[in-house]
A and B are shown apart, each in its own frame.
Chain A
Amino acid sequence: MSVDRPGTAAHPLRVVIVGAGPTGFYAADQLLRQEGLIVEIDMFDRVPTPFGLVRYGVAPDHQKIKAVTVAFDKIASHPRFRFYGSVELGKHLSVDDLRAHYHQIFYATGAQSDRRMGIPGEDLKGSHPATEFVAWYNGHPDYQDLQFDLSAERVAVVGVGNVAIDVARILSRTPEELAKTDISDQAFEALRRSAVKEVYLLGRRGPAQAAFTNPELKELGELAGADVVVDPREVELDPLSRAALAKAPDRATSKKTEMLQAYANGVVSGKPRTLVIRFLVSPLEVIGNAAGEVTAMKLVRNELYQTPTGTLQPRATEQVETLPVGLVFRSVGYRGVPLPGVPFNDKWAVILNEKGRVLDPVSKQPAVGEYTGGWIKRGPSGVIGTNKPDAAETVTCMLEDLAQHAILHPPAPGAAAADALVRSRQPQCLSYDDWRQLDRQEIERGRAQGRPRVKFTRLDEILGALRAGNR
């Protein structure tokens, strides 16, 4: 009867996942674990290697967080899972190509861009998105030609989320500390010669509202070559924050403010660098010289006010100051970018969706067979693991729709046809076995230097390593 419902050995459900980051792997795992359902998964990524931000976002000195790839590697070992690296939607394959070969499409491309501060001088020489710096020091192949002038002695990092903390911490690490990480060789060399002496983290709200988490804050106090400096006046809780904490006590927030107060009262031990955490300041302008290079930032002091929901938001006062800096990194949030042929919700910078079902922009009804998960579904929030329940919500929708026969009906639903198409469009695509070989070589190179791995950072380098390995 139900010959046309795929999911059997003779007629597997064919799913394509666009994006090989955590969400893609969690979704693949959840689909492959369904009892009584035979699913075949093809996963594409526009970069040659899998794991998305775990490889290119998570800081190189946070190897424990990167250990999640062990779980992803197990998922990739499933016989009905295939990975294709260096394959980009809109360049090598179109959404129509996917519709012709798969029953269900899952977009998990993350947030590839960053939010702007929206102030004058933002694009001066020496003012960068933190995300580009992160991709550069992590060896992302698309960012290796960027230049960061680390001859500046003072650097501002705008934002107090975990990305901002990562950037400030990497800038403050000693060469000895960095030498134990898998930071790219190019970034290691540049940071080894860095003249940076003072790093300023700038938060627009108070300590109780800062987005960074306590382990990250604690880690700053353990840096070998940098003292943490906090102005006692800026970490004293304002009456509104104190009242909010009294009304809804929260251990993590109390602990965070305690730690900050301890930094404020601590003795500066005279380490070569200082990392200054500022609160209640917003950048008004990046100031440059005649050559268009950053020389300072104009900051305004904020006060907090309470919105009707009880949120404490910042409001500018009249108090303005100038902070001389030669380098600025903005870290005020990631932002999703539209995929060619996929409906986008500009307001939230996500794929237009309801619980992960992609919606048709005109009818606002689900677009049959198209789904999304992760940051391109909900915006950039949470830790790596947050994408697991997020992916599960979408997979539940996929299974419900399959049960209702609301799937695509591809004319060429065979694994061989899809493979042939991908290889014809991108002959240089990488398989998961290719990745395993690269992984072995990177770890091997690292072993000699006492590092977790030494990354291949450019496409020609990666292809060369594979050719050498296959010889």
Chain B
Amino acid sequence: MTIATILARKGVKVVTIRPEQTLREALALLAQHSIGAVLVCDAAGALVGILSERDIVREAVRNELFFERPVSTIMTKDVITGQPNDDLNAAAVTMTNKRFRHLPVLDAGKIVGVISLGDIAKAQRDEYLGEIDTLQTQLLGERAS
């Protein structure tokens, strides 16, 4: 299974913010879209960072008055990205080992989506459920015949 399988049923919406916008605006976006991370893009639309709930929690503990600070001050700048034909299982291993939960997906340098560990868990669960169902059908069919 590839990353594209997940993106295919996620519409075309990718939530982004500019690095100079405030963390208050970022929080509003996360709440409005019920998402755990927002991609940070420059004026040309190029990916320059990612801002996750975890980044915000970490900063909030250090500094209660962080709302007006720009996104760029706490975003993760070295973003690991995927491509649509990457394997889901490999991505899950990498995300778990490197402890990040959101993977921006680029195709020929252009942002085409974001997948979360939750998305991967759901896709893997559906794959396993499907295989179990198909195997059971075959076994039962065999017994019936």
Contact = CB atoms under 8 A, between A and B. Distances in A.
Do the two shown chains form a genuine complex with each other?
yes
B112 A347 contact: yes
Interface residues of A, number: 43
Given A313-B85, A389-B126, A381 B137 contact: no
A103 interface: no
A248 interface: yes
A458 to B, nearest CB: 29
A245 to B, nearest CB: 11
A310 B94 contact: yes
Contacts of B81: 308
A55 interface: no
B53 interface: no
B83 interface: yes
Given A355-B9, A383-B130, A386-B126, A310 B90 contact: yes
B114 to A, nearest CB: 13
Size bin of chain B's contact surface:
35 or more
A399 to B, nearest CB: 18
Contact of B5 (A247, A353, A379): A379
Contacts of A244: 90, 93
A307 interface: yes
A34 interface: no
B8 A68 contact: no
Contacts of B135: 385
B23 interface: no
Nearest to A248: B93
A387 B129 CA distance: 10
Contacts of A355: 9
Contacts of A68: 134, 137, 141
Interface string B86-122: 1101110111010000010001000010000000000
Contacts of B137: 67-68, 71, 384-385
Interface string A65-109: 101101100000000000000000000000000000000000000
A70 B11 contact: no
A388 B136 CA distance: 13
B127 interface: yes
Interface in A326-375: 345, 347-348, 350, 352-356, 359, 364
Contact of B8 (A250, A345, A364): A345
Contact of B82 (A307, A350, A385): A307
Contact of A65 (B13, B134, B145): B134
Interface string B1-26: 11111011111110000000000000
Give the one of B7, B8, B10 with max A CB within 10 A: B8
B133 interface: yes
B9 A385 contact: no
Contacts of A428: none
B73 interface: no
25 contacts: A64-B138, A67-B137, A68-B141, A70-B144, A209-B87, A248-B89, A248-B93, A250-B89, A308-B81, A308-B94, A309-B83, A309-B91, A313-B86, A348-B8, A350-B8, A353-B11, A354-B11, A379-B4, A381-B1, A382-B126, A384-B134, A385-B137, A386-B130, A388-B130, A390-B126
Interface of B: 1-5, 7-13, 80-83, 85-87, 89-91, 93-95, 97, 103, 107, 112, 125-127, 129-135, 137-138, 140-142, 144-145
